[in-house]
Chains A and B, each alone.
Chain A
Amino acid sequence: MSMRVLVACKRVIDYAVKVRVKPDKSGVVTEGVKHSMNPFDEIAVEEAVRMKESKVAGELIAVSCGPKQCQETLRTALAMGIDRAIHVEVSDADYANMQPFHVSKILAKVAQEEKADILLLGKQAIDDDCNQTGQMTAALLDWPQATFASAILKEGSDMLVTREVDGGLERIKVKVPAVITADLRLNEPRYATLPNIMKAKKKPLAKKPVSDFGVDLSPRHQVLSVEEPPVRKAGHKVETVEELVGKLKEAGVV
């Protein structure tokens, strides 16, 4: 029996973009900024595709929640080798308040509807760095979770996952259905080449309004302010050793 793998991907500001904070401190500037798939989700997509290539997985489904532009992210996933995609349509206004809690509720429902055996996702998104969606989805589904995976193997009917933990590596065995989140060293994602992007345009992409899922989208926490990290102060050049010692004494470090 081959497994059905559901991969969640988030559209985030591209990793190479210099992020700017809005003048009113309500968030970051997203208009006219290059977006792409969250790099950790890309790793999750790649892993799913490899699972299919090694015949561990049968069907691969990608899902993304957000405004219309998320479809580009899903197309990228399809170009990398996912079979079909589901776009959960969320309006811009609702999306601004959407938090991992809401996303995990939606993902849990999608995973059940699609009868997924494995839900794969990136360990965290590089925009909010929450690192919560996978864990919360596992809790809502009451599925085992294997987070920060750096290797995934199938062993009988279970999955053998190597996890990156502070002290080194931990190997755990989980029963399917399970939630697995991808860490950086899991694999090197392939590039979505132009011919594959063209082919991906023919793959099915289902659109579902978020209202179909009956999830309460009211925010559970409030963003008070978003600020730039403090700017590093310029240093001085000293001419002599005496001056250096003087400055250090002034600063109270010697």
Chain B
Amino acid sequence: MNSQRSQVIRLYKNLLHLGKDYPKGYDYFRERLRQSFRSNLQVTDVREIEMLIVKGEFVSKELEALYMLRKYRALKSRYYYNK
């Protein structure tokens, strides 16, 4: 139970960190992140929390992939013509 609490906090901090690079801005991201965590405030079932953590980790992986692709595309369109 306690370790899950620290897992959730770690996930939240990680996502906040990722939010700094969010295309629509940090404030936009933070607001939505807070909302989505808050909406699961009442969840107490250990297995359900586990599933939510997995979902959160999936979202952070997706964000990393999004940033990588965005950067790659920007560089490609700037430096590599007609390809």
- Interface residues of A, Cβ cutoff 8 Å to B: 15-16, 39, 126, 184, 188-189, 191, 193-195, 197
Contacts and interface: CB of A to CB of B under 8 A. Distances in A.
B74 A15 contact: yes
Interface string B55-83: 00000000010011011101110111000
B64 A191 contact: yes
B20 to A, nearest CB: 9
B32 interface: no
A15 B75 contact: yes
A193 B67 contact: no
B4 interface: no
Contacts, number: 32
B14 A194 contact: yes
B17 interface: yes
Task: Tell me whether chain B's interface is mostly helix, strand or loop, or mixed.
Answer: helix
Task: Say which size band chain B's interface belongs to.
Answer: 10 to 19
B21 to A, nearest CB: 8
A39 B68 CA distance: 10
B70 to A, nearest CB: 8
B17 A194 contact: yes
Contacts of A16: 23, 70-71, 74
A8 B12 CA distance: 33
Contacts of B64: 191, 193
Contact of B68 (A15, A126, A189, A197): A189
Interface string B28-62: 00000000000000000000000000000000000
Given A16-B23, A194-B13, A194-B17, A188 B72 contact: yes
Given A16-B74, A39-B75, A193 B14 contact: yes
Contacts of B10: 195
B51 to A, nearest CB: 22
